[in-house]
Amino acid sequence: MPPKPAQVLVHPSQFPDAIQAALVQSLRTRKLNHKFLYDSLRQTRKWLELHEACSPARNDPDCLAIYDRAFETVSGLVRDPAIHLVGLGCGGGQKDVRLLELFQGPARVLSYTPCDVSSAMVLVARSAALRLTGTCQPLVCDLALTPDLQEMVNQLSPLGATRIITFFGMIPNFEPDIILPRLADCLRETDLLLFSANLAPGSDYAAGVRRILPLYDNRLTREWLMLFLSDLGIGPGHGSLQFSIDASSFGLQRVVANFQFSQPAQVRLGAETFEFATGENFRVFFSYRYTPALVQQTLAQFGLEVSDEWVARSEEEGVFLVRKKT
């Protein structure tokens, strides 16, 4: 039987004029909005290939186990018959599906909202979850540009359902003071938030960040990042990607990828032309690294409290159960 058509809810933050405005802003500021790295089917496929090859969550058995332990804990905490799972930044939905599987039962009514900036991603997540839930409403939006996220999620939540929000693999690519207030607003006092963070291993934070740099500075990551640049007409002949580590706000450090121009280049977008000079940098990617203590400290500044945590033995990834402070 051929698949049925899917209804996808698209927020105005992902309407064509908003996408165009975000791209113009990225080119003007020389700081790429990360959503453009997931915007096309080709980029989605390349990201999924990179994720499968390099992510500890896909390749480290102990890292996989911390998610299972977190999911088992949450499934034990929630006994209500109706559950609404909201996957913010759902990606391919693999982790959300594993959580939904634990809530299956004859008396259970499960609903799922896969949410991502990429329509391709939400459709992949929807397809993975359909066998587990009777109600699946994909939502496409730019989380950083969705001030009414709380209203959207509330409208999609069935009346009386216990809500679990997942936010896996997302916090590294957002400025904390942009995304954390949005999460705090979205979270009701009765909601549970499962939150993952990439961590810097060891007792020396700076040394730990240096240690994980090869997870980013590799062929697959470069190919993924260059896909977007090539669509703009920027190729290896114009310069090269340079990876570095920067200190940032909240006492955090992050891995940064800049495209450094070795010769002048032009990008034309509609009636506007953007000039890039020799030696100029265009930041195309960044990824924050935390420690468990920094996760707690940073979230606390936005009214969010860690009530439980699971950290892989490698100390490179952690899952955190978060509630809104009362």
In this prediction, residues 227-248 reach a mean pLDDT of 93
HSE-up of residue 2 (Cα within 13 Å, Cβ side): 3
What is the chain's length? 326
Q: Provide the terminal-to-terminal Cα distance of the chain, rounded to the nearest Å.
A: 50
Residues 71, 85: Cα–Cα separation, whole Å: 12
Domains of the chain: 9-202+290-324 (3.40.50.150), 213-289 (no CATH)
Residues 287, 167: Cα–Cα separation, whole Å: 15
Residue 206 pLDDT exceeds 90 = yes
Q: So what's the pLDDT on residue 62? A: 85
Q: So what's the pLDDT on residue 310? A: 97
Nearest to 171 by CA among 61, 88, 51, 258: 88
Residue 54 pLDDT exceeds 70 = no
Q: So what's the pLDDT on residue 121? A: 86
| Lowest model confidence (mean pLDDT) among 38-52, 88-102, 189-203 | 38-52
Q: So what's the pLDDT on residue 56? A: 64
Q: Which of 60-64, 220-224, 270-274, 275-279 has the largest mean confidence?
A: 275-279
In this prediction, residues 72-77 reach a mean pLDDT of 95
Q: So what's the pLDDT on residue 188? A: 93
Question: Beta strands 109-116 and 139-140: pairing type?
Answer: parallel
